[in-house]
Structure 1
Amino acid sequence: MILSTVYAVTRRLLSLPALLLRRDVSKDAELLVLRHENTVLRRHVPRMHYEPADRLWFAALAHLIPRHRWAQVFPMTPATLLAWHRKLVAKKWDHSQRRRPGRPPTASAVKAVVLRVAAENPGWGHRRIHGELTRLGHKMAASTVWNILNRAGINPAPRRTGPTWKQFLQAQAEHIVAVDFLHVDTINLKRIYALVMLEHGTRRAHLLGVTAHPTGPWTTQAARNFLMNTDRNTENRKFLIRDRAGQFTDAFDAVFADTGLRVLKSPPQAPKANAHCERFIGTLRRELLDRTLILNERHLHRTLTRYLEHYNEYRPHRALNQLCPSQAEAGPPRPIDLAERRVQRTAVLGGLINQYQIAS
């Protein structure tokens, strides 16, 4: 009874301002409801947990409400609200996460250039490389160049090893010839050996001989026969690369030394030291020997001779800009329009290999 009377009186008191200010009464009533709801929630939840977005919203609205009203409006103390605002301001002007301490890192493209220059010039130290980059217009400290080389495991220039076999072969290609043996098993499982030579500069290949018993005297005589029968100019040749097989004797080296060639022995079990000749032998096997059956020495000699004619006169090489050795020596062919010409095919070695040429 008493509670009902209090409620009736309270409602009549609240209805009086509603009559006077009808436009704002609805908004003010809503605010009173929300405030009372906050009071009830505070009684049930002693400590509220706010997300960063909640703190941002409260801190932003605090500028629109007088400070003396904060205790009645906000569900936290004014000190907490001010602390949140200070954190927002500090975070706005905090650039520590946007940059790394110390010097800026060197671009990966610049590191690649430094390592490339060091690889192409084994005799250059970090000071020489730094000078080259400075000459090109890129400014960086010499210590940065040293750090790049050190992290890549590249020793200082005075303690670096000499040029690799790959660098040596590329630099001296036009002055190098190489020889090596390859073996072929006949149809009756008899093993035959062939001695071949490759000119690095022109990629022209030669057959020095075929035998079932490659002894030292036979190898020496094969070298003599080749030099007597060949019309190739050997004045530009300076080096002959061979492995350490027992068939290559001192007499064999002397035959080529008389023509001005210096014999270089490749390290044991190092095919990269004679990489071009090894690759030529691989080409022989892929394109010829793995696709045909050999009967005897005479058959192998005839087959290799015919293939080497194709290899020197018709087969293109990427190292020669897709020209064959004979074209590389005489000059590239005159450009033509294949739409106006007829291409003729010629079968070699019973159709095992095809050659193409412009029909006359």
Structure 2
Amino acid sequence: MSQKIEIINIALRLIVKTAVLAAGFSGRARKRSLKRLAGMDIYEKDKELIFLRDKITQLQTQVSILQKALKKQNNKKRYTIREKLFILCYMEAFQIPRRRVTEHLGIARSTLYRWLKNIEEKAQAVVPANITPAELAALVWQITKANEGWGRFRIANQLKLLGVFLSASTVRNILNRPEPRKTPSKAPKPKQTEDKTEARSIPAWYPNHVWSIDTTIVYKWGLLEVHVCVIIDHFSRKIMAAVPLEGPNAGWVINAMDEAIEKYGSPKHIISDQGSVFISEAFAECLKNNNRIKHRLGAIGKKGSIAVTERANKTLKYCWLKRVPIIKGIDHLHDLCNEFQVWYNSWRPHMSLDGNRPDDVFFGNLPERPAPDANSVPTEIETRYFRQARITGYRLKKAG
């Protein structure tokens, strides 16, 4: 109806515009004396006439187009609700099949099916059968507040480890809705910090097949640099070592390497960047003495070759140590790195592992995938609060 009124208004404006142009021209003509009109140049008269004829032709074309659109809209029949119900009752009373509705009543079958679909949708219950339980929504909010850097995919993977099937889109919808009662009214919006697959991934086919090693810098007391050596297994993404170093030299890196090998065994390959520590003779001797580990150097400027370790460094610095107010010394940093290893390996779902934990993949204890209809909160959930980083981990008790 509003479209129809708008078309009529446009047509009226065009008609008024034509009348104003004509009136203006006639007014100008009246003001001119016959003597002046007779004295006008013939070329000026021709220009004026050509201009007015073109303008009138344009306006006539626009009016014609609008008239056709209005006529076409008027020909399109719209049935009221009463007429639709009458047609359906008529078909039911005289047993007219749906496939012959066009023959009997002149109505397209697609139109009839659209009517019936609308009736069926309105007849459904107001509350859908697959509505998310309130206690599950509360658990999603609880996990979000305890791990404010997590995105919807990581939260869905955490729920999968707890035996609850919830898609990432459902998690997003829960977080977009108001928070359930008996919880704070506001919660920090989760940032998208999902792990991205590195551009040049290094293949690893079993645990201890490929390790990568790197050092990163953190600050104790907010001022003094401390190097941390991080070693990670490519297959399981398990942190094999996260050790603060007394100094940035090969001796301390070799000590961290020896501790990791003593605890988990030696890998077949190890990848590092081309830092002076890793291309030293002492580091090469260490690899030779531990079952002749094959050393591979990452390409300069190609971050994909050591991206797994770089991503672990980023998680250590920005998802763990950044939540600690201040690092009070080397012993405090040792405790923080040990807790980080426990949280990263045993509690945190990893995006590159389809939401599984690194320890589950490394030791071959993968949990069963929850059923699609598993939307109830389990009772045997185990939680652990990492006080210094203010992060809460969740898992099933039987998984521990």
Structure with higher RCO (Cα < 8 A, 6+ apart): 2
Bigger Cα Rg: 1
Instruction: Please report the TM-score for the alignment, with normalisation by the length of structure 1.
Output: 0.49
Instruction: Please report the TM-score for the alignment, with normalisation by the length of structure 2.
Output: 0.44
